[in-house]
């Protein structure tokens, strides 16, 4: 079962709100008989019970309960057709939280979903308007996947599989999901799943052990597979579902979070037990550079991979890297590649702590961290700490509470009046 506590994002306007505001549901039957849209209002003082707007955006009914004295109330304005909205979706176990990044990270939606078995991955398609959440076991059997309609806020189906699940990716056309069978699985199988029905079409054997992270190329022609306990990043053709290249061997420890550039000639790979990353040449399969973090303690407490999160900026000039040992994010200039090695140019101390455990959490609860850039490159979102970094000033400018308790997050953008999302992350990276 799931509980909708907000109108769909297609009907949520821009709101002049403060970071940290939260929302309560609006009863459409009682409030919205004379208007087209329902509007969320901040919870707090004064308490807002209901608001209605005319077509020009002027309030003509506002009922407010004052605790002691009148306080100012911000009234949102309706969204204009064609206006683009950027939302960050965060997925703690059992929940979806949605934050409006155009309005200082205001919380605009919270939905309960049946993913209490533990979320492992999330992707979405702007082509179909569908969101997918993998949850459950990452070995053997007991993996599940949920399909969710972003436009109607409805669970379409939940499928349960006789294999494990992990961090998947979806093809650019929204038709095919590439599902790793779990980092603790003994084999190296990725399942190729029909995104419409949830049925398995075929499998890809990576030849590795511990299927974990996945990236589908921007053109949809290749799927990049990261087996956790294998020292090669594996590339397969999505036409033949066969392996066509291996990149490595990487420094011992196995493949962890990775990303690729748009031209598909460079891979940026993090490793178990190493504070830093390696750069691989996709065309030749060779490792070009090993890039350790300089000036910081390289061992100590934390996850099995201290750099459990790497993101290439949309302009492909910088790489951001998680450091769970020292509670930092490090920035590297990669404009000299492939001739010159990446240069460490900034170190950003996080406000949220990459330590302790996520809670509530079904399993795999240690705060490993994760990160990704926003589509426009303005922000970097740091999972498990909650920090949102402004890439211009290289400083945390806001925190998202749910993001401090989850490393599963993706951006989905909507345009006012459009029947489907304008853009969505089909990879978590």
pLDDT tens track for 129-158? 999 999 999 999 999 999 999 999 999 999
C-alpha angle with apex 339: 336 to 340, nearest 5 degrees? 50
pLDDT tens-place string over residues 226-252: 999 999 999 999 999 999 999 999 998
Q: Is residue 211's pLDDT more than 90?
A: yes
Q: How far apart are CA 193 and CA 212, in angstroms?
A: 16
Q: What is the pLDDT of residue 402?
A: 98
Query: For the chain, how many helices (H) and strands (E)?
Result: 1, 32
The percentage of the chain sitting over the pLDDT mark of 70, rounded to a whole number, equals: 81
* Confidence label for 301 from pLDDT (cuts 50, 70 and 90): confident
Residues sharing a CB contact under 8 Å with residue 218, sequence separation 6 or more, in sequence order: 172, 262, 264
Report which of 275, 265, 269, 270 is spatially closest to residue 338, judged by C-alpha positions. Answer: 265
Q: Is residue 25's pLDDT more than 60?
A: no
Q: How far apart are CA 220 and CA 174, in angstroms?
A: 10
Q: What is the dihedral of CA 37, 99, 96, 421, to 10 degrees?
A: 60
Q: What is the pLDDT of residue 234?
A: 98
Q: What is the pLDDT of residue 81?
A: 61
Q: Is residue 299's pLDDT more than 90?
A: no
pTM: 0.83
Three-state secondary-structure class, residue 161:
strand
pLDDT tens-place string over residues 269-281: 999 999 999 999 9
Q: What is the pLDDT of residue 403?
A: 98
Q: Is residue 203's pLDDT more than 50?
A: yes
Bigger pLDDT: 363 vs 129: 129
* Confidence label for 429 from pLDDT (cuts 50, 70 and 90): confident
Average pLDDT value for the chain = 85
pLDDT tens-place string over residues 161-201: 999 999 999 999 999 999 999 999 999 999 999 999 999 99
Walk me through the domains of the chain, giving residue ranges and CATH numbers: 3-65 (no CATH), 113-243 (2.130.10.10)
**Strand residue runs (E) in 95-175:** 95-100, 106-112, 119-125, 130-136, 143-149, 154-161, 169-170
Q: What is the pLDDT of residue 253?
A: 82
Q: What is the pLDDT of residue 372?
A: 98
Q: Is residue 258's pLDDT more than 90?
A: yes
> Which pairs with CB-CB distance under 8 Å and at least 24 residues apart come from 232-241?
232/208, 233/258, 233/267, 233/269, 233/280, 234/188, 234/206, 234/207, 234/208, 235/282, 236/190, 236/204, 236/206, 238/171, 238/176, 238/178, 241/192, 241/202, 241/203, 241/204
Q: What is the pLDDT of residue 80?
A: 53
Q: What is the pLDDT of residue 191?
A: 98
CB atoms within 10 A of CB 28: 12
Q: What is the pLDDT of residue 396?
A: 98
Q: How far apart are CA 388 and CA 33, in angstroms?
A: 38
Rounded mean pLDDT of 299-321? Answer: 93
Instruction: Indicate the range of 75-84, 273-282, 324-333, 334-343 predicted with least confidence.
Output: 75-84
């Amino acid at each position: 079962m799931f509980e909708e506590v907000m109108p769909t994002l297609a009907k949520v306007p821009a709101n002049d709100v403060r970071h940290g505001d939260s929302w309560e549901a609006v009863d459409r039957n009682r409030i919205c008989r004379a208007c087209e849209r329902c509007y969320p209002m901040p919870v707090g003082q004064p308490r807002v019970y209901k608001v209605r707007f005319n077509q020009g955006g002027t309030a003509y009914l506002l009922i407010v309960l004052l605790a002691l004295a009148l306080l100012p109330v911000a009234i949102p304005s309706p969204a204009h057709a064609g206006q683009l909205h950027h939302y960050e979706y965060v997925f703690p176990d059992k929940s979806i939280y949605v934050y409006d990044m155009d309005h200082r990270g205001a919380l605009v939606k919270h939905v309960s979903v049946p993913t209490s078995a533990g979320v492992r991955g999330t992707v979405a398609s702007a082509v179909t308007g569908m969101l997918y959440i993998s949850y459950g076991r990452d070995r053997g059997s007991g993996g599940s996947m949920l399909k969710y309609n972003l436009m109607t806020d409805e669970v379409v189906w939940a499928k349960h599989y006789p294999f494990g699940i992990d961090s998947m990716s979806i093809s650019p056309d929204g038709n095919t999901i590439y599902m790793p069978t779990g980092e603790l699985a003994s084999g190296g199988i990725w399942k190729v799943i029909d995104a419409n029905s949830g049925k398995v079409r075929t499998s890809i054997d990576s030849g590795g052990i511990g299927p974990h992270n996945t990236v589908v190329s921007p053109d949809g022609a290749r799927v990049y597979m990261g087996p956790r306990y294998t020292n090669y990043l594996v590339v397969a053709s999505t036409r033949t579902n066969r392996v066509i290249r291996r990149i490595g061997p990487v420094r011992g420890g196995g493949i962890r979070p990775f990303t690729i550039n748009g031209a598909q000639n460079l891979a940026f790979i993090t490793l178990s037990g190493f504070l830093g990353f390696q750069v691989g040449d996709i065309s030749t399969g060779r490792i070009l550079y090993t890039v350790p973090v300089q000036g910081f303690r390289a061992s100590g407490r934390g996850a099995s991979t201290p750099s459990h999160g790497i993101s290439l900026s949309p302009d492909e000039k910088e790489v951001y890297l998680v450091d769970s040992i020292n509670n930092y994010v490090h920035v590297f200039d990669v404009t000299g590649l492939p001739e010159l090695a990446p240069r460490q140019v900034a170190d950003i101390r996080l406000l949220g702590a990459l330590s302790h455990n996520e809670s509530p959490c079904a399993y795999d609860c240690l705060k490993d961290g994760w990160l990704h850039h926003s589509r426009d490159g303005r922000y970097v979102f740091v999972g498990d700490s909650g920090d949102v970094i402004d890439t211009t000033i290289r400083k945390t400018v806001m925190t998202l509470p749910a993001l401090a308790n989850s490393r599963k997050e993706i951006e989905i953008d909507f345009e006012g009046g459009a029947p489907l999302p304008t853009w969505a992350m089909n990879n978590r990276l």
